[in-house]
Amino acid sequence: MTISQLSRKNIQALTPYQSARRLGGSGDVWLNANEYPTSPNFDLTDHTFNRYPEAQPEAVVNSYAAYAGVQPENVIVTRGGDESIELIIRAFCEADDAVLYCPPTYGMYAVSAETCGVALKTVPLTADFQLNLPEIEKNLDGVKVVFVCSPNNPTGGLVKRSDLLKLLQMTAGRAIVVVDEAYIEFCPTATMATELANFPHLAIIRTLSKAFGLAGLRCGFTLANAELINVLQKVIAPYPIPVPVSDIAAQALSEQGLAQMRSQTATVLANRAELQKNLEKLPLVEQVFESEANYLLVKFKDGQKVFKALWEQGIVLRDQHKALGLANCVRITVGTEVENKKVVESLGRVVLG
């Protein structure tokens, strides 16, 4: 048998998540991964590399709890938000359980479920990118975890709070509801963290990758009630957060770091509004969807041709044409003023046949 044939059958059939870096590309304008366009400057202060790190770095846990408005026992630090996704599936799903998610949305929910050998149920979002609650309720048999992204990637909009509350009510005692808030800093009042006290089966995923501008750090968080956090503590790796990561994360969560993040967020929001206004003037644009995040989903008259034309000019965007219900759509990360201007000017030169 070949090495591939020795791997688990579900892994042999698995199509891996196509991350921005895996897809490649070349150029000087990278607007395909929803990163902050410039890097914050932090210097390492902890050089105890000869010792294993804290299993859960106390300074980071306490700082993030204070920032999120929860208690330290409501926080677990992970290697990016992606580890949170897999931890929850591994901790709660038996072989005969299922995960439910609502495309178009972040692809790692499906990939993580398939990697763990857990069945996947899909209930597509409605035409206006909201939860289809009646269909979700019909499909809850056997479901142990439900994933919802709000603001949703790649559409950019918020899921209605009232619908999230109804979802939590219908899943009580049956399933864990995970609300992915990777982009919540761009609309902080929409957080579901205030509902943790009311719903013991609610888990919230957070990250430093977006508004904090620290995608290269790979530092994320799960917020939940203490009982749920204790379950995740059983399955997380013994030393998941390297010393340099916890060092910089603690700085990012300091008073000065939070002020810097909020300034960065304000810049992104201003640039997003300007970018949206300029995109809507272009004749090849059919629709720019409203966004509460650091990116815009844009429907073009010929999205694939537009994506290819900009790719060839060294402007790397994210093609969403194959995503459910997103034909001819391209996701554009909000970059610097210069980058955004270059995108608009390049789009203005694209000629559709």
Statement: residue 3 has pLDDT above 80 = no
* Domain spans, the chain: 3-37+257-347, 58-254
Q: What's the token pair of residue 334?
A: 């909000």
pLDDT band for 17, please (50, 70, 90 cuts).
low
pLDDT band for 2, please (50, 70, 90 cuts).
confident
Predicted confidence at residue 28, as pLDDT, reads: 82
DSSP one-letter code for 145: E
Average pLDDT along the chain: 94
Q: In the predicted model, what is the mean pLDDT of residues 42-54?
A: 94
pLDDT band for 157, please (50, 70, 90 cuts).
very high
Q: In the predicted model, what is the mean pLDDT of residues 281-292?
A: 97
DSSP one-letter code for 39: -
Best CA proximity match to 65, nearest among 199, 210, 180, 222: 222
Q: Got the DSSP string for 64-128?
A: HHHHHTS-GGGEEEESHHHHHHHHHHHHH--TT-EEEE-SSS-THHHHHHHHTT-EEEE----TT
Statement: residue 320 has pLDDT above 80 = yes
Statement: residue 142 has pLDDT above 60 = yes
pLDDT band for 25, please (50, 70, 90 cuts).
low
Q: What is the pLDDT of residues 193-238, one digit of tens each?
A: 999 999 999 999 999 999 999 999 999 999 999 999 999 999 999 9
Predicted confidence at residue 239, as pLDDT, reads: 94
Q: What is the pLDDT of residues 51-85, one digit of tens each?
A: 999 999 999 999 999 999 999 999 999 999 999 99
Predicted confidence at residue 23, as pLDDT, reads: 61
Predicted confidence at residue 104, as pLDDT, reads: 98
Q: Rounded to whole angstroms, how far apart are CA atoms 298 and 303?
A: 9
Reported pTM: 0.94
**Does domain 58-254 sit in CATH 3.40.640.10?**
yes
Q: What's the token pair of residue 48?
A: 């105890």
Q: Rounded to whole angstroms, how far apart are CA atoms 351 and 35?
A: 29
Are 307 and 343 spatial neighbours (Cβ–Cβ below 8 Å)?
no
Are 352 and 313 spatial neighbours (Cβ–Cβ below 8 Å)?
no
Q: Rounded to whole angstroms, how far apart are CA atoms 190 and 186?
A: 9
Sign of the dihedral through C-alpha 100, 104, 106, 107: positive
End-to-end CA distance of the chain: 50
Q: What's the token pair of residue 122?
A: 């899909």
Are 114 and 107 spatial neighbours (Cβ–Cβ below 8 Å)?
no
Amino acid at position 184, single letter: I
CB under 8 A, 24+ apart: contacts of 32-35: 32/316, 32/317, 32/318, 32/331, 32/333, 33/215, 33/318, 33/333, 34/153, 34/183, 34/210, 34/293, 34/294, 34/295, 34/331, 34/333, 35/209, 35/210, 35/213, 35/215, 35/333
Q: Rounded to whole angstroms, how far apart are CA atoms 72 and 56?
A: 11
Statement: residue 22 has pLDDT above 60 = no
Beta bridge pairs of residue 202? 177
| Cα–Cα–Cα angle for 225, 151, 212, rounded to 5 degrees | 80
Report the CATH number of the 3-37+257-347 domain: 3.90.1150.10
Are 182 and 209 spatial neighbours (Cβ–Cβ below 8 Å)?
yes
Number of residues that this document lists for the chain: 353
Q: What is the pLDDT of residues 107-137, one digit of tens each?
A: 999 999 999 999 999 999 999 999 999 999 9
pLDDT band for 1, please (50, 70, 90 cuts).
confident
Statement: residue 19 has pLDDT above 80 = no
Q: Taking the C-alpha atoms of 236, 239, 244 and 250 in order, what is their torsion angle to the nearest 10 degrees?
A: 60
Statement: residue 183 has pLDDT above 80 = yes
Residue 13: phi and psi, rounded to 5, are -90, -10
